[in-house]
Structure 1
Amino acid sequence: MKLSRFAALALGVGVAALAHADWSRIQNEAKGQTVYFNAWGGSEATNGYLSWAAKEAKTRFGIDVRHVKITDTAEVVKRVQTEVAAGRKTDGSIDLMWVNGENFSNLKNGGLLFGPWAQSLPNWGLVDLNKPVRSDFSVPTEGYESPWGTAQLTFIADRAKTPVPPRSAADLLSFAQANPGRVSYPKPPDFHGTTFVKQLLLELAPNKAPLQQAVTPGAFASATQTLWAYLDQLHPSLWRNGQSFPASATEMHRMLGDGELKVSLTFNPNEAANLIVTKQLPATAYSFGFTGGTIGNVHFVAIPVNARAKAGAQVFANFLLSAEAQTRKADISVWGDGTVLDVSRLPAASQALIRKTAPGALSEAVPTLAEPHASWVEALEAEWLQRYGAR
């Protein structure tokens, strides 16, 4: 039976009113809660932004947000797994976490996430649905995590020392051989190191299609053969002959600034601009990508199934999706993390700030390559460590 236009309108108004009432209830429940937000703490810009967001949450919503600074999200996943297995069903130590990729996949597959909730947030209506916000490393999000920002693998060099950068995996190999000891990458399973290995895999694999499916032994062996052959060629020309690796991208930035390396890398196309402002890199530093594209994704926040402050976590996640918070986050002078919102729907001042560039930031258009399926990460890291990690 078809509804009349009046009946359909009334139904729509009723649904909206119900949604408003539910959100009001969540906001009221959130007041006075403490939200333990487990998020990477390796960047001064990120930490400063979260300090601001926490102060705003306290003032506006009566929520006490505590930034628990972490170095490896996989350890947070293990903590959730351990707590739930031990019977901590409602009093977990984590209320909100910065997560994506294989960590999200492991949590979702284990039934360790609260939800679905993300698409019920009032600010979900501002999200740019043309971005991959409903799929995370080829795993459907289904409302179990809320998008927070965008990122893309970006390389950094000093124009005074490297006026012509390598523009592909093949170029990088030639560049490393011509500059022995001046190229490296973080040791997996460091996030940036694993991302670099995935970048090479995406470029070198003879058949890309299996990378978007769950990994199998046969597909892994076939897809990675050229990757390992490439790394066997590359490593002897790396810093310390590929016998050891920098611990992190932050360490690589320092080594680039000191002249020890000629190339660094980041997952934030605007990070070099921040590093120039803070005098960690010279004014001649610049960002670049590979001609064929570099790996990129959306990062999210999620709520563990045993979180204490589920209401507070949702209210804070909604604030992180607001036009104000997203605009501030995208401001290069604050953080420079890409927005997940539809910029065309934002006020003119926000649009201008989000589109603003700064010296050192990525200024060229670099195609974005889709992440492999989440299951490839663990397999790649395990094989990399077996081949190169014990040296």
Structure 2
Amino acid sequence: MRFRLILSALAAFLSTPALADWQDTLDAARGQTVYWNAWGGDDRTNAFVAWVGEQTEDLYGVSVEHVRLSDTAEAVTRVISERAAGRDTDGSVDLIWINGPNFLAMKEQGLLFGPFVADLPNAQYLDLTPGAAASLDFTVPVEGMESPWRLARFVFNYDSARVDAPPRSMAEFVDWAAANPGRMTHPDPSNFMGATFLKQALIELAPDPAALLAPVTEEAFAAQTAPLWEWYDALRPNLWRGGETFPENQSIQQQLLNDGEVDISMSFDPASTAAAIAQGLLPETARVFVPEGGTIGNVSFVAIPYNAANAEGAQVVANFLLDPAVQARMQNIEVLGSFSVLDPARLDDPARAAFDALPTAPALPTLEALGPTLPEPHASWMTRLTEEWARRYTR
């Protein structure tokens, strides 16, 4: 009840003359159904998306239809196909949970609506200065063409009942796997989790990590990845099933950890281990670890295609996701557990208190325990990296 009162008060505030343009957006959005194309592989995220739709329909008359994707490229391909067919209005995709290479591809091809982020009332809680996390996506300037909604950090999880000392660095995985053959693996790099495992190693092993922030060239790729392939050649023979086959995604690898087939798994959600324990999907002894130098982190964004049929409703949803009360609910380990994208310095005392009061769990790491956040390489590196891995290690 209190949550609804807060959002009702916010809705009333947004109707003031000072935000008349936003009120026009709210008026146009009423009655719209936003087709939110988003990865559908996590039950807690799916439940949160459903809750968002219930709230926006109640508050603004904007419903949300979750179009569940296995790969974001599915939605991007749909938009590209619609443009090729001359469907420049009334498109079938209104909002996309998007990141990295897919955002870059849509931006370069002029497939995005906007800029719109600065027009969202709740953007006041974001740090949108150049170079800030909410202003870059895999080093690519966002320029208001996508709106942040959750933080992601790459982490490893393990069963502390079977592992006393997990590797302290990516380099140490080689020795650990040699001492524990068959007890670790990674998702296939065609999946973003497997690709992130390779990127994490690349950042640590590259002779010049700064080179990864620029678009890839063949010369730079050869120089920066040489130590990576040497490392991987040493690691691979001691992977699960001899490195000849790989789990399709993180969920399947987590099941291998739960079943005792492997001792280490990985995730892009620091809260996923605690959540899986609560759901009975991992043992109580599961814990999170990160390499001492930190891990890759990024912001998850939502973008609106250029031909979205319900662009006003999509903006309402994007703005709702940035409300401090919504962000606090999202960070709650009992709901989703994703860290907030908001700048704490821009929150008032009641909003800070809501975050401070959130529950914790033994397997939920603190931001401090996660160490430094390492920037994603430029999006072009991931594409080239996964292509080269497939060339070298698949037949």
* Shorter-chain TM-score range: over 0.9
Aligned counterparts of 2:353 and 2:178: Cα–Cα separation in 1: 47
Quick one: which amino acid aligns to residue 387 of structure 2? A
2:351 is aligned with 1:352: no
Asked if structure 2 preserves the Cα contact closer than 8 Å seen for 1:343 and 1:351, the reply is no
1:6 aligned residue: none
Task: State which of 373, 380, 390 in structure 1 corresponds to 2:378.
Answer: 373
Residues matched between the structures, number: 374
Question: Is 1:48–2:47 an aligned residue pair?
Answer: yes
1:286 partner SS: strand
CA–CA distance in 2 between the matches of 1:287 and 1:365? 9
Mapped to 2, the partners of 1:331 and 1:251 lie a distance apart of: 25
Q: How does 1:105-124 map onto structure 2 within 5 Å?
A: 105-124=104-123
Q: Does 1:203 align with 2:204?
A: yes
Instruction: State the Cα deviation string for residues 102-151 of structure 1 (Å, max 9, x = none).
Output: 11101000100000001110000011447511111111000000011111
Give the residue type in structure 1 aligned to 2:272.
E
Identity rate of aligned residues, in percent? 48
- 2:224 is matched with 223
CA offsets, 1:88-112, max 9 Å, x none?
1012111000011111101000100
CA drift at 1:77:
1.3
Q: Contact conserved, 1:326 with 1:339, CA < 8 A, in 2?
A: yes
Q: Equivalent residue of 2:171, what SS? A: helix
Counterpart Cα distance in 1 of 2:219 and 2:97: 32
Task: Report the secondary structure of 1:169's partner residue.
Answer: coil
Aligned match of 1:11: none
Aligned to 1:388: 393
Q: Using the alignment, how far apart are the partners of 1:18 and 1:89 within structure 2?
A: 33
Classify 1:302/1:353 alpha carbon distance in 2 versus 1 (closer, same or farther; 3 Å). Answer: farther
Residue 213 of structure 1 corresponds to 214
Shift of 1:324: 1.4
- Classify 1:350/1:129 alpha carbon distance in 2 versus 1 (closer, same or farther; 3 Å): farther
Other structure's SS at 1:291 match = coil
Contact 1:151-1:298 at 8 Å conserved across structures: yes
Q: Confirm or deny: 8 A CA contact 1:246 1:252 kept in the other structure.
A: yes
Provide the C-alpha distance between the structure 2 equivalents of 1:323 and 1:209, rounded to a whole number of angstroms: 34
Q: Check conservation: 1:150, 1:298, Cα contact below 8 A.
A: yes
Task: Name the structure 2 match of 1:100.
Answer: 99
TM-score by length of 2: 0.92
Distance 2:114 2:237 in 1: 48
Q: Distance in 2 between matches of 1:307 and 1:114?
A: 8
Aligned-partner Cα distance in 1 for 2:37–2:327: 19
The CA RMSD over aligned residues, in Å, is: 1.5
> Aligned-pair distance for 1:349?
3.4
d(CA) in 2 for partners of 1:267, 1:70: 17
Partners of 1:19 and 1:256 lie apart in 2 by 54
Shift of 1:58: 0.8
**Does the 8 Å CA contact 1:331/1:353 hold for their aligned counterparts?**
no
C-alpha separation between the residues in 2 aligned to 1:222 and 1:19?
55
Q: Residue type of the partner of 1:350?
A: A
- Letter aligned with residue 237 of structure 1: N
Specify the SS of the correspondent of 1:36. strand
Runs of 4+ displaced beyond 4 Å: 16-19
Q: Post-superposition shift, 1:17?
A: 8.0
- Of the structure 1 ranges 194-203 and 75-84, higher mean CA displacement relative to structure 2 is found in 75-84
- Tell me the CA shift for residue 191 of structure 1: 1.0
Structure 2, unpaired ranges of 5+: 1-14
Equivalence map 1:225-374=2 (5 Å): 225-344=226-345, 345-346=347-348, 347=350, 348-354=352-358, 356-363=359-366, 364-374=369-379
Query: What letter matches 1:109 in structure 2?
Result: E
How far apart are residue 314 of structure 1 and its match?
Answer: 0.1
Paired amino acid for 2:390: L
Contact 2:193-2:249 within 8 A present in 1 as well: yes
CA contact (8 A) 1:327 1:353 kept: no
Contact 2:294 2:370 in 1 (8 A): no
C-alpha displacement of 1:78: 1.4
Q: CA deviation at 1:232?
A: 1.1
Residue type of the alignment partner of 2:355: Q
> Which residue does 1:158 correspond to in 2?
159
Partner secondary structure for residue 390 of structure 2: helix
- The amino acid across from 2:19 in the alignment is H
Q: CA deviation at 1:173?
A: 1.0
Cα deviation, residue 19, structure 1? 6.3
Question: Which runs of no fewer than 5 residues in structure 1 stay unpaired?
Answer: 1-15
Given residue 386 of structure 1, which amino acid in structure 2 is its aligned partner? R
